[in-house]
């Protein structure tokens, strides 16, 4: 469920922006940057978490630095047979190379993002196990990042859309 218009104010968006820039920022640092009390920042972060706006605090990993140099987007569809769908979803959930998997509406039923050492590893560890569970795969290997996620721009757009109260 979306947050109601006006439910978040400039301080909420300021906190979100500060944490999007540096998820490890101390509340004291955020409070100083925003000109408010540290306790107020702490209470707001708790509120944002309770509202589900902040889902979790995490780290973004550059997998290539760890030898996983192949990032792929794999689209697939499957039959309506429940047993096969269950096996497919279980594979998505259990295979560590599958970073995320989404059920979609459109030409494909599922879109997954996977990472592997190289195309051969991707084929052997993800592609081959998927084949018997799917009605075909369409795989694209990322060759260059054109635009990384820009949470700040998206926050500013959301702030303009939701308005602040």
Print pLDDT tens along the chain (165 aa). 778 777 899 999 999 999 999 999 999 999 999 999 999 999 999 999 999 999 998 888 999 999 999 999 999 998 777 789 999 999 999 999 999 999 999 999 999 999 999 999 999 999 999 999 998 899 999 999 999 889 999 999 999 988 654
Please tell me whether residues 37 and 104 are part of one structural domain. no
Secondary structure percentages of the chain, helix, strand, coil, to 5 = 45, 15, 40
Task: Count up the domains in the chain and report the number.
Answer: 2
CATH number at residue 51: 1.10.10.10
Please tell me whether residues 50 and 115 are part of one structural domain. no
Please tell me whether residues 102 and 133 are part of one structural domain. yes
Distance CA(7)–CA(52), nearest Å, equals 13
Please tell me whether residues 83 and 132 are part of one structural domain. yes
**Which pLDDT score, from 0 to 100, does residue 164 have?**
54
Distance CA(12)–CA(164), nearest Å, equals 9
- The residues pairing with 139 across neighbouring beta strands, listed in sequence order, are 74
Please tell me whether residues 45 and 90 are part of one structural domain. no
Is 110 within 8 Å of 75 (Cβ atoms)? yes
Q: What is each CA distance from 60 to 24, 119, 161, in whole angstroms?
A: 12, 23, 27
**Which pLDDT score, from 0 to 100, does residue 109 have?**
94
List the domain range (segments joined by +) for residue 51.
10-59
Please tell me whether residues 75 and 130 are part of one structural domain. yes
User: For the chain, first and last CA: distance in Å?
Assistant: 19
Please tell me whether residues 41 and 107 are part of one structural domain. no
**Which pLDDT score, from 0 to 100, does residue 90 have?**
95
Query: Global pTM?
Result: 0.80
């Amino acid at each position: 469920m979306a947050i109601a218009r006006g439910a978040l104010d400039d301080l909420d968006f300021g906190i979100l922006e500060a944490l999007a820039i540096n998820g490890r920022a101390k509340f004291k640092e955020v409070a100083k940057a925003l000109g408010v009390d540290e306790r107020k920042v702490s209470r707001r972060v708790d509120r944002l978490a309770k509202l589900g706006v902040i889902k979790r605090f995490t780290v973004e990993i550059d997998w290539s630095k760890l030898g996983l140099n192949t990032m792929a987007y794999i689209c697939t569809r499957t039959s309506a047979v429940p047993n096969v769908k269950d096996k497919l979803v279980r594979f998505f959930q259990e295979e560590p190379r599958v970073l995320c998997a989404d059920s979609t509406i459109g030409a494909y039923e599922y879109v997954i993002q996977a990472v592997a050492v190289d195309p051969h590893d991707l084929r052997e560890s993800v592609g081959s196990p998927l084949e018997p569970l799917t009605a075909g795969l369409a795989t694209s290997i990322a060759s260059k990042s054109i635009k990384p996620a820009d949470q700040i721009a998206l926050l500013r757009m959301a702030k303009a859309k939701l308005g602040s109260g």
